[in-house]
């Protein structure tokens, strides 16, 4: 089944895509550059425009298609003083649901993953800017009820599941992968 991943986070290319390609065998994998550093007034237009560009290429193939967008838990429940980051993520979640409804009759499933705190080079760079790197890391690890940071491979496994035939009845869902932060 052709599948694709359209991300809305700048951590995806270096941290997730290698694991994702191995686990899913996706025919098409794309990424939308974005994230906190680029959360400007144009972020919404850019992310959604790129998402549609990626999806159009996939739909030319037709047949059964699984699309998995990547957003953030902050697209489901915003955080204070993060509007420029949260709004584009919420739009990706809404886009996922709208595309799922529109594509269902053509056997196109569209879902979304919302990864939380994932141990990536970007997160390590953020720790490095803190006065006490070790304390920043410890405090971050304590946030999820599971008490460890997510790994790119865990996100890739969730995407692989959503892209698989075993999830053939799953569409329009936003899967939160955050170690329980959103549930707490």
Catalytic residue, candidates 4, 11, 15, 85: 85
Q: Are 171 and 109 in contact (CB under 8 A)?
A: yes
HEC profile for 80-127?
CCCHHHHHHHHHHHHHHHHHHHHHHHHCEEEEEEEECCECCHHHHHHH
Is 11 among the residues known to form the active site?
A: no
Closest CA to 89 of 122, 113, 107: 113
Residues paired with residue 69 on neighbouring β-strands, in sequence order: 6, 112
CA 52/CA 45 separation, integer angstroms: 11
Supply the residues annotated as catalytic.
85
């Amino acid at each position: 089944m052709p599948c694709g991943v359209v991300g809305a986070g700048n951590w995806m290319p270096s941290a997730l895509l290698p694991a994702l390609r191995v686990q899913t065998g996706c025919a098409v994998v794309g990424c939308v550059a974005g994230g906190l550093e680029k959360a400007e007034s144009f972020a919404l237009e850019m992310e959604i425009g790129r998402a549609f560009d990626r999806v159009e290429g996939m739909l030319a193939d037709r047949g059964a298609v699984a699309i998995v967008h990547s957003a953030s838990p902050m697209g489901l429940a915003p955080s204070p003083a993060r509007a420029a980051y949260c709004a584009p993520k919420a739009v990706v979640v809404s886009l996922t649901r709208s595309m799922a409804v529109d594509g269902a009759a053509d056997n196109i499933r569209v879902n979304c993953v919302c990864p939380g705190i994932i141990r990536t080079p970007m997160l390590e760079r953020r720790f490095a800017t803190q006065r006490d790197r070790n304390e920043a890391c410890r405090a971050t690890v304590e946030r999820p009820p599971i008490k460890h940071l997510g790994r790119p491979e865990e996100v890739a496994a969730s995407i692989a599941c959503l892209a698989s035939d075993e999830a053939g009845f799953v569409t329009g869902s936003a899967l939160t992968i955050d170690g329980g932060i959103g549930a707490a």
